[in-house]
Chain A
Amino acid sequence: MARYVTSRLAQIVVILFMIVTILFVLFRLAPGDPVSRMVDPSLSPEEAANLIAQLGLDKPIGQQYLQYLQNFVQGNFGHSFHYGLPVGQVIMAKLPNTILLFTTAMVLSALAGIAWGKVAAWKKGQGADMALTVAALVTHTLFLPWLALLVIWIFGYKLDWLPINGMISAEVWLDPASGHLDKALDVAYHMVLPLATLFIMHFGSYLLVMRSSMLQTLREDYIITARAKGLTERKIRNHHAAPNAWLPVITSVGLSLAFSINGGALTETVFSWPGIGRELVMAVSQNDYPLAQASFLLIAMVVLFANLVVDLLYAYFDPRIRY
């Protein structure tokens, strides 16, 4: 196990290293002056020159690369042009928010997908199956930003039920009377719409995967065994079929992670959720290169680690796989 994790971590490091290298190359391939992308445009020429020397941008490209790698390893991504803060500090403040929203959404939609996919497969061909399958097909091909706008239009504007932006409201956090519970509730309250959006987008694909996997499982011999043993149908479904069927769902969560992250960034942007995806979009539109670069790396890192977690989960749930 430990050996497996170590080797996977090594792999992640290699992939990150390559991404970093690709970024380095891209930053120099892009038209225009690479220095201007590294140095805060608000600096005076003397200061800029000083900084260029500091960053080693006046050295040959090989040395620049080494310098760049060294900075990267030290977690030194430079200062954001706009915040004036170390980039690491800016993005680390946003990372937990993204993880909170994204993980909750993924876990909830995977659970719902599994639960509903199970039912659909079990009632194959019946009304419930049709309804669930069609709902899954339709929802998971929706265009996410549009869905988000619709959700805002309905629940924020027409019905005026739920907050449509941000993560907390100033009123609750400024009010000295608010306790921890109030604050937690406030976050939950703000999370409903973005969470619902991500949920609607994602449960469908898991449902479809679960359904077809469950149908395959139901044809397995151990299901006959279970039946022969005189187990109740419910027990067969929940204890024998489902635990085998949802293994592929875990895999599919892993495979679709990179894609889901796109959706996460869009959701964050539309709902102004203060996460890393929104930060990247804003950094890109404001040409805050150090921030954009670091956010991108961090997202790649999150995807890589999440993949590892997914694989470990798979191993945890499937006893046949031991590392």
Chain B
Amino acid sequence: MALLEVENLSIGYRTKKGVLQAVDNVSFSVEAGRSLGLVGESGCGKTTIGMALMGLLPRNGRVTAGTMRLMGRDMLGLSREQWRELRWKEIAMIFQAAMNALNPVQRVDQQIAEAILTHNPGLSRGEAHSQVEGLYQLVGLPLERLRDYPHQYSGGMKQRAIIAMALACNPKIIVADEPTTALDVIVQDQILQETKALQKEFNIGIIFISHDISIVAEVCHHIAIMYAGQMVETGTTDEVFRDAKHPYTRALLGSFPALGGERRPLRPIPGEPPLLVGQLMGCRFCDRCPVHGKACKLEPPQRRRFSDTHFALCDHCD
């Protein structure tokens, strides 16, 4: 059984102009020790999914349809208190270090210990603290920096601290939201490698959210490409990279320098994604699609299967 199963998930935001359909009919699953990369432009709904998995949708956001199951347990029916207990213990999150994910006026060790103490109320402060020390060693942070404040850390150290924090309660699943953005390439690479190692060691399922498909390729077993709230293509990393079906995936691959692949001129994707408000007809990528046909604009595209793991949401790909 998969660790996490998401089926036909739809999420909408109430706004002044109407309901914004941020995520539309998305399904995926993650297994222990495996990782899934969610890739797409900003605003495509990938972060919304991450937040939904943590039960942290903003006040005006709501799951409108579908199910989310963690180890067979339905997450949508959880009460607030159940959610609170579930968070971090079962499913943790790695935030982008460049964001203000760490509280600037609290010492870092305290912020990590806080998570441990919240979920293990029986623990003493000292015990929690020694656990934090262990985590520091794990992620390769010097122990003498434990009592520092976040602003005293470099970007890479902050990211490591955040990873340490995510591991604090031995979660089954970690949602990593753009964990390496804004880090320089070398640090980025180090952290990715370490993440991979940790994942293996603790047998964690990871959902890796990024706008950078090449980074995702480095770490993930599976990739899901998101566009305008929909999952337009899913497959193993190999499948997607070698045999991208959806025109958007292809465009994405073209717009990023591949880490190990051949050198190609970068091609930006012209146009902008549609506004996700109101009734949307037809294929959402239509306006930017180089290969669209006449029907695309009117009929919603069909989900097409290419292998057991490889799907795409397009009528024109083959």
A and B touch in the complex (CB under 8 A): yes
Given contacts A221-B95, A224-B56, A320-B149, contact A229 B114 (CB under 8 A): yes
| Partner-binding segment picked from B81-89, B179-187, B259-267 | B81-89
A230 and B118 form a contact (CB under 8 A): yes
* Chain A hits for B85, CB < 8 A: 230
Interface string of B241-254 (1 = CB under 8 A from A): 00000000000000
- Pick from A221, A222, A230, A319: contact of B87, CB below 8 A: A230
Number of A-B residue pairs with CB-CB distance less than 8 Å in the complex they form: 75
Which one of B88, B100, B105 contacts A228 once the chains associate, using CB atoms below 8 Å?
A: B88
Interface size on B, residues (CB 8 A): 28
- The answer to whether A228 and B56 have CB atoms under 8 Å apart is yes
Chain A 223-235 interface mask (CB, 8 Å, partner B; 1/0): 0111111111001
Most chain B beta carbons < 10 A, residue from A222, A230, A317: A230
Quick check: is B104 within 8 A (CB to CB) of the other chain?
yes
**Residues of chain A with a CB closer than 8 A to B86's CB:** 230
> Which residues between 194 and 229 of chain A lie within 8 Å of chain B, taking CB atoms?
220-222, 224-229
What mask results when residues 158 to 193 of chain B are scored 1 for a CB within 8 Å of chain A, else 0?
A: 000000010000000000000000000000000000
Q: B101–A222 contact, CB under 8 A?
A: yes
Residues of B within 8 A of A226 (CB): 103
Known A228-B92, A229-B114; contact A221-B105, beta-carbon cutoff 8 A: no
Partner of A229, one of B100, B104, B115: B115
Within A223-258, the residues touching B (CB, 8 Å) are 224-232, 235, 239-240, 243-244, 247
Measured CA separation A231–B103 after assembly (Å):
14
Contact yes or no, B100 A222, CB < 8 A = yes
Given A230-B87, A230-B88, A230-B115, A225–B101 Cβ distance below 8 Å?
Answer: yes
Q: Mark B107-137, 1 if CB is under 8 A from A, else 0.
A: 1000100110011000000000000000000
Chain B interfacial positions (CB closer than 8 Å to A): 54, 56, 84-89, 92-93, 95, 99-107, 111, 114-115, 118-119, 149, 151, 165
- What are 19 pairs between A and B in contact, CB < 8 Å? A222-B104, A224-B56, A225-B93, A227-B56, A227-B87, A228-B87, A228-B88, A228-B92, A228-B95, A230-B118, A240-B103, A243-B105, A243-B106, A244-B104, A244-B105, A317-B105, A319-B151, A320-B104, A320-B149
